[in-house]
Structure 1
Amino acid sequence: MQKLLFFIGCLILYTGSYAQYRWELSGGITNSSLNLENTETTSGIGYYLSAGYGYISGVRAKTSIVFSIEALQRSSELTEDLVLAEGIGNISRGSEFTVTQFGFSPKFRYLFFTGKDRFRPFINVGPSLRFTANAELGDTELESEAYEQLMIGGVYGVGFSQMIGEQFDIFFEAGAMNDFLDNLNDVKSKFFDIYARIGVRFRIYDARR
């Protein structure tokens, strides 16, 4: 047992010695489409803000776990009239459904090339947990009982970073997000989003290999 604990401790120290710790701030736009009772909708433009903390590990700094706090707006416009559940009411063509959400997203990121390269493409994937702070249908703000307050979804992105100094990177990321739960209670209503964002990343210390 003592040998096993000693081995685990050595492994943690070895991995941590090759780690980089980074803060990142980014902002961008979302292009969202709503699947509302299998009815076609027109995509709408919203915003996507994120502040995250990343831990990069591995001898060549190939893998990273990024923990992000996010704020986003998602909207979509209906192209035909609908009659929905009680508490939501009827929706006329041209009405826009908009939600404002705040949440948390831990993502696994894989970086290409090595830690000494200034230009590094990456891919990342992870779940998202978001609290819906506000939901509007047309000019009407919905009661909290009408929509799902805690949303669970997924985030899938690709991008690249470019080193601009010993401790700073700029990065660009584009990708997709989807909902695993319906936004409106008792109504099929899942968003699918395409997003693009740019940001800056700050290394707490320079540990390039």
Structure 2
Amino acid sequence: MKKEFAVIGLGRFGGSICRELSEEGLEVLALDLDADKVNEYSSIASHAVVGDSTDENVLKSLGIRNFDHVIVAIGDNIQASILTTLILKELGVRNITVKATNDYHEKVLAKIGADQIVHPERDMGRRIAHNIISNNVLDYLELSDEHSIVEIVASEKVIGHSLIDLDIRARYGVNIMAIKRGKEVIVSPQAIEVIQKGDVLIVIGADTDINRFEKHLINV
């Protein structure tokens, strides 16, 4: 059976999630107080409903506890976001992802049991800043406040050298998870693997170690 998702809040963030899930062929319920937004997504989502997510009876009538994953994407009303999350937890929803708008909001969501908390504006800001700082960085994914996965284009400093020659883990404390080489992806590359021109290194580690690796070995 296809997994069923519910997206509550059809602003830019919630709307884009709704669209992407629907394009993947998944069952998506879209819920918002704004009838215009619901109409906009009525032809995109499997079901689009006008309703108040802070009303427990509304959520019960939609059978919300039967959904595999509920995304709370309410961005303009922190109180509604928190109350909706609390009701979803009490109704026994298995997996709840919630958009946080600030650090206080995030702390409250964590305390009431949100399974995943996302900070799209902050995280995108960090990603853009990271990409601006280093010309070699293609993408940046924050795993926690201190750890990330980064895609870095191999520079002249590393091309032609093997991973064992560079001794990256011992010298910098980061790991090369994979190497993208054209359409090929080399997962968990062996120590004898030689880095070639155009390779993209997928690096995981602490942010401080990744920054050190970028500055000393990648940036030219």
- Smaller-chain TM-score range? under 0.3
Structure with a larger share of its residues in helix: 2
TM-score (norm 2): 0.24
Structure with a larger share of its residues in strand: 1
TM-score (norm 1): 0.25
